Structure 1
């Protein structure tokens, strides 16, 4: 199986080009008994996407645009999302394994109580999104993603890798981040830096974290005061 590696984190990718695997075009993600397997779902412009209790297995979801999407108790195994606009998505109480998101807009989305294992987000926009109780139960990589003003709340992102991401004004509220690899990212405008205990950074990033903490504490610098 192919994999993608960022420093110490290696994600196993979906295996959709295996011999004998044929993906059939489908017009809906609602299958018999909630299961859709070996599928390709593409070029859809939807007002609403609503899935509950579904299992997506071995498939590609490409160029799907939706004004509103709600996915609840949806399991995805070996699935590729590419060039999708899933802004205002709500995805809850689910598990994703060997799933990739590439060039997707997921702005303003809510991920709540979702477990991730071997998941890659690449060139995705998470601006203003909320990640609430997201759990990395296996390797996860965010590569070249924007998470401007995203809220990351009570998540377990231990050993997750962020690579060349835009984290401007991203806010961390509690959670576990042991060995979360933040090297190669600008941390100077993060909020909630006290939550980032035991993360992995470069020494040069210490100054960035100090700048973020000073901004959060709203400190006043003595040299800026007129003492006369």
Structure 2
């Protein structure tokens, strides 16, 4: 297995160069008897993608486009999602392990009751998404991704790292965030600061948090009143 490490957080990723592993080209993600293993799926342009009760293991999905995507009760182990565009994504009641999403568009996605364990989101767009009760059971990294106006609702992002991401109007609505590493980001437009207990930041980011808190509390500065 390969690893990706940023500061103290390391994620275990798929490694398809292991001896005896060969990826076979497939024309559908619907595996026989609900299982799809050692596969490669590329350049599909779908109107609808509906998958349920499927176990995907050791695979690479590249250039997949779907106008509407519904994924339910999936188990995803050691899978790469590369340059995928999954519009109107609804992903529920699933577990994703040792997997990477790279250069993917997941804008406006809805993830609910999804468990993440050793997952990397790199150069992805998750703007306007809602992640409800998403739980990090192992290390998770969001790197160089856009989370603009994304909402984490009742999420558990313990041991998660967010680095060099767009966090404009990103909201944290309840949940557990102890140990969430927010260093390397601009935090001045975060929302839901009261949920972010015991997170990790740099001292230089304290002024940014103060700006975010003032905006959230709709604070009026006395100097502005005096100038009127």
Which TM-score band applies after superposition, normalised by the shorter structure? over 0.9
Question: Could you tell me how far apart the structure 1 residues matched to 2:148 and 2:227 are?
Answer: 38
Shift of residue 2, structure 1, vs aligned partner:
1.2
Aligned to 2:84, the other structure's residue is in SS state coil
Once superposed, what is the RMSD of the aligned Cα atoms? 0.9
User: What is the rounded CA distance, in whole Å, between the counterparts of 1:86 and 1:94 in structure 2?
Assistant: 17
Q: Give secondary structure in 1 for the equivalent of 2:86.
A: coil
C-alpha deviations, 1:8-65, integer Å up to 9, x for none?
A: 1100011212111111100101011110000000000000000000000000000000
Paired with 1:70 and 1:141, the residues of 2 have a C-alpha distance of: 24
**How far, CA to CA, are the matches of 1:220 and 1:87 in structure 2?**
40
Match of 1:48 in 2: 48
> Which aligned pairs between 1:1-228 and structure 2 lie closer than 5 A?
1-226=1-226
Distance 1:14 1:221, change over 3 A: same
The alpha carbon displacement at 1:226 in A equals 3.6
Equivalent residues of 1:51, 1:72 under 8 A apart: yes
Cα distance between partner residues in 1 of 2:13 and 2:212: 35
Question: 1:226 and 1:128 mapped to 2: Cα distance?
Answer: 38
Gapped regions of structure 1 (runs ≥ 5): none
Preserved contact between residue 167 and residue 186 of structure 1 (Cα < 8 Å): yes
Give the drift of 1:227: 7.6
Count residues with an aligned counterpart: 228
Could you give the per-residue CA deviations for residues 112-142 of structure 1, whole angstroms, max 9, x where no partner exists?
0000001000000000000100000001000
- 1:83-120: per-residue Cα shift (whole Å, max 9, x none)? 00012111100000101000000000011000000100
Distance 1:63 1:34 in 2: 23
**Structure-2 separation of matches of 1:148 and 1:46:** 26
Q: Which runs of 5+ in 2 are unaligned?
A: none
Provide closer, same or farther for how the CA distance between residues 216 and 79 of structure 1 changes in structure 2, counting only shifts above 3 A: same
Q: Residues 173-210 of structure 1, C-alpha deviation per residue, up to 9 Å, x if partnerless?
A: 00000010000000000011111000000001111111
Secondary structure at the aligned position of 1:73 is classed as strand
Residue 204 of structure 1: SS of its match in structure 2?
helix
